[in-house]
Structure 1
Amino acid sequence: MEVVPFRTPGLGDQSYLLTHRGMGVLVDPQRDIDRFLRAAAERRVEPRFVLETHLHNDYVSGARQAALSTGAELVLPAAAAPAYPCTPAFHLEDIHGGRGLVIRPIHTPGHTPEHTGYLVLADGEPAALFSGGSLLVASAGRTDLLGPERARTLARLQYGSLRRLAALPPETPVFPTHGAGSFCASTGTDRRTSTIGAELAGNPLLAVGDAERFADELLADPLPVPAFYRHMGRANILGAPPVPCLRVPELTVAGLPGEATVVDVRPRRVQAEGALPGSVGIELGDDFGLWAGWLLPYGAPLVLAAEPGQDVTEAVVQLARIGADTVRGVVRDLGPAAVQTFTPVDLPTFLERLALPGAQVLDVRTPAERRAVRLDGAVERFLPDLVSEGVPGELDPSRPVLTACASGRRAAIAATLLAGAGHRPVVLDGAGIPDVVAARR
């Protein structure tokens, strides 16, 4: 038996392919299913089951399309009740795959009400637990994604679910779907898999002996919820179509659709030198889809601005993972229409500008980051709030705005939003607010 992980760093998730005697079990696949099917073909295994642990909040599932493409049996929690045929998974009602393989559903509500983990038995012995968004490595799945009104009830359910899983044999391998970098996890860790025994020894939430205190701890410091999450549940209930064509047409500036939002995927230092007015700059990286889904109008037509020769396939794939299938094309020659958006500077230069009379700073980190390290006098607004709430009114557009985060990536994105609102951003690149605070001590 082999368990093959498929990491999606930008979303902090992992899908899995379990192989056993020529059969494959695909767990929580994302929408770009070709990578999973290719891995199965390379190992000469026939997909037998596609399992979904829950209706995902953070991405569009590829489970239905994977099952349709391979003839595998699609299994979802019974209470998910999707709008397409599947095998409903009921608590502790075994699903037999033959050749000594058994799938045992374990109802583990908390992350979502229908959430179900799957214990895989090989020849009667526990071989793997796919825990989805329930028991995570040194953590647990969030319970507040369906709204604050249900968060505490779900947290109490999560308490019981974790203990239900913790009663499994300690040597059972644990393969969560969510992990570090995921906004579905309540906390983060660098480890992606574990065992029941390791979690009993090191997961702080399993050391909490009371459901109400567990809920208090789980809900004490919630992370922000990405804006696109609100669209994922419906997409996964209805069943998404296959990933759209990844090749998009080449456009000119003169031929840009008037209603489209331009998202600039070029390196941020290139964006700084000149970008199309009104464009949103999100340098292409692992978390491009996360920020695009959080900051851009969901479902609106998009145009990518890219460098000559830059491959934009990854950008289209990341957008497809969150159901943003509205890319109308790519423009590569910006020509004289491009204008300077911001000025990137290193830490010493940033500190020099900070010391000037009338200097104003914008900190776009998360609230939790700000509580850990704060820069006195900085205007604080989390990056997505620049879209939902607007640019803080206390920032004077007649003076440069010294913009910072932890590394420069989010500050550069913020700078393009500031420039669109008539400000003159100066971005701390390659360093962040903690570095500024440490240098001023």
Structure 2
Amino acid sequence: MVEIVSFRTPGPGDQSYLLVHQGRGVLVDPQRDIDRFLRAAAERDVELRFVLETHLHNDYLSGAEQAARRTGAELVMPAAAAPAYRHTPAFHLEDIDGGNGLILRPLHTPGHTPEHTSYLVLVEDEPVAVFSGGSLLVASAGRTDLLGPERAPALARLQYGSLRRLAALPPQVGLYPTHGAGSFCAAGEVDRHTSTIGDELRSNPLLAVQDAGQAAAELLADPMPIPAFYQHMQPANTIGVPPMPPTTPPELTLDAAPADARVVDSRPRKAQADGFLPGSTGIEDGDDFGSWAGWLLPYQAPIVLVAEPGQDVTEPVVQLARIGVDTVLGVVRDLGPAATAGYELLDLDAFTARAARPGAQVLDVRMPSELKDARLPGAVERFLPDLVTEGVPAELDPGRPVLVACGSGRRAAIAATILADHGYTPAVLDGAGIPDLVAALRSSAGPGRG
């Protein structure tokens, strides 16, 4: 019998795994903050024998090399990955003997990346699980466009072949992908994180496709944006990732904060709305804090966090470190009279009333793929990161308030701090999104008028 412990990282939507078999452990696709994995192994009195990587990750820094160094485990990487540090190359169908009847069988499954390798787990010659990385996912498959549009079509066709290879495994084999819901490495979203081959044969729409060209077209349809920090992940994972930095930043006063630092306000959006430092970027602490900071700020820029008294900032620092941003200089907990910028937070009713007024300016900062769910006629549409790279849309009049909305209020609140820095007066739809606003405006218009 084997036990498979799952470690989910909600923000990027990724999972790492610890396989336990008769006191021996196999760690799969660990993120950089390896202490949580090593603690789980120690709690189970497990000797870590192998650390497996399915591919050179595009969305986070790997902790595989450091985990192997700390424990003496054997680091196994796809043969074609060729990282610049000591490892055992995994070749297609060349079994790795884990002892006590455990076999790890590499399966070359290119598509998400060219070197991508899945690992089939056999116990006493019976296949029981497959770690599929960014190949076959629950109800989906890994993206094939992360290495650029030129390579995407060829990788998409390769992904089709990899999906068929994995689908040919026995139906009872457990499916344990690295990417899933919330991940920008996934080509779709679903609430389940693990599955079986049989369940995927019954429910995964990509496994119903019988033609490589059609599968490639579906994989490449409606591409999601690629976060800006992704371009730095694979090179770092190839060269080698240093250990985690300290996760408790020093306390700073605002006067002591370096002038060249980027200020990131991690307080709840209500506190930000009441007053924030002009020029700062407000990103409320949450599961995706690191992703948005890595996307919106210059990579590895020095950062000063703003937090409330007593607010724990360990998690934001850890999230930044997972993407290689080790540049948090400290945390400021009292802005004093310097907090002169702000924005309004409006509930759905108040926002709807404002949006219904003639000449109201509404800015929708959702990603393009979300627009199919609901679209507000007359709204200006610009995805949140594009406010940084492309600027504020010229259609917006800085002399009038800008009503900002997304899907829940989180991204709209971030956008509000960007707009305020450009001289606009934002009001944020809080606790609701564009679909709710569209429905509310239709309802307020009355029968036959919406």
The TM-score, its normalising length taken from structure 1, stands at 0.99
Is 1:211 aligned to residue 237 of structure 2? no
- What fraction of aligned residue pairs are identical, expressed as a percent? 74
Q: Deviations over 1:99-146 (max 9, x none)?
A: 111110000000000000000111111121000000000110000000
3-state DSSP class of the match of 1:440? helix
**Larger CA deviation: 348-357 vs 273-282:** 348-357
**Cα distance between partner residues in 1 of 2:440 and 2:203:** 35
Q: 1:235 aligns to what?
A: 236
Q: 2:340 aligns to what?
A: 339
How far is the alpha carbon of 1:394 from its aligned partner?
Answer: 1.2
**Cα distance between partner residues in 2 of 1:8 and 1:165:** 25
Contact 2:405–2:433 (8 Å) recurs in 1: yes
Q: 1:92 aligns to what?
A: 93
Q: Deviations over 1:301-336 (max 9, x none)?
A: 001000011110001000001110000110111000
How far is the alpha carbon of 1:355 from its aligned partner?
Answer: 2.2
CA RMSD across the alignment? 0.7
Contact 2:346–2:430 (8 Å) recurs in 1: yes
3-state DSSP class of the match of 2:238? helix
Contact 2:92–2:106 (8 Å) recurs in 1: yes
Is 1:350 aligned to residue 340 of structure 2? no
Q: 1:182 aligns to what?
A: 183
How far is the alpha carbon of 1:21 from its aligned partner?
Answer: 0.4
**Cα distance between partner residues in 1 of 2:311 and 2:15:** 27
**Cα distance between partner residues in 2 of 1:339 and 1:245:** 32
**Cα distance between partner residues in 2 of 1:207 and 1:355:** 45
Q: Deviations over 1:328-369 (max 9, x none)?
A: 110111000011321001111111111223210100001111
Q: 1:135 aligns to what?
A: 136
Contact 2:356–2:441 (8 Å) recurs in 1: no
How far is the alpha carbon of 1:371 from its aligned partner?
Answer: 2.3
Q: 1:83 aligns to what?
A: 84
The TM-score, its normalising length taken from structure 2, stands at 0.97
Q: Deviations over 1:183-218 (max 9, x none)?
A: 000001001111111111111101111000101111
Q: Deviations over 1:47-83 (max 9, x none)?
A: 0000000000000000000000000000000000001
**Cα distance between partner residues in 2 of 1:148 and 1:158:** 15
Q: Deviations over 1:408-437 (max 9, x none)?
A: 000000000000111000000011110111
Aligned residue pairs, count: 441
Q: 1:392 aligns to what?
A: 393
Q: 1:383 aligns to what?
A: 384
How far is the alpha carbon of 1:247 from its aligned partner?
Answer: 1.4
How far is the alpha carbon of 1:24 from its aligned partner?
Answer: 0.3
**Cα distance between partner residues in 2 of 1:70 and 1:56:** 22
**Cα distance between partner residues in 2 of 1:400 and 1:268:** 18
- Can you give the 5+ residue segments of structure 1 that lack an aligned partner in the other structure? none
Alignment of 1:388-427 (within 5 A): 388-427=389-428
Contact 2:373–2:435 (8 Å) recurs in 1: no
Letter in 2 for 1:70: T
3-state DSSP class of the match of 1:300? coil
**Cα distance between partner residues in 1 of 2:440 and 2:273:** 26
Q: 1:325 aligns to what?
A: 326
Alignment of 1:103-142 (within 5 A): 103-142=104-143
Q: 2:33 aligns to what?
A: 32
Letter in 1 for 2:133: G
Letter in 1 for 2:324: G
**Cα distance between partner residues in 1 of 2:320 and 2:300:** 11
Letter in 1 for 2:409: G
- Can you give the 5+ residue segments of structure 2 that lack an aligned partner in the other structure? 443-450
**Cα distance between partner residues in 1 of 2:54 and 2:25:** 17
Letter in 2 for 1:44: D
Greater than 6 Å deviation, 4+ residue runs: none
Letter in 1 for 2:384: L
Letter in 2 for 1:246: T
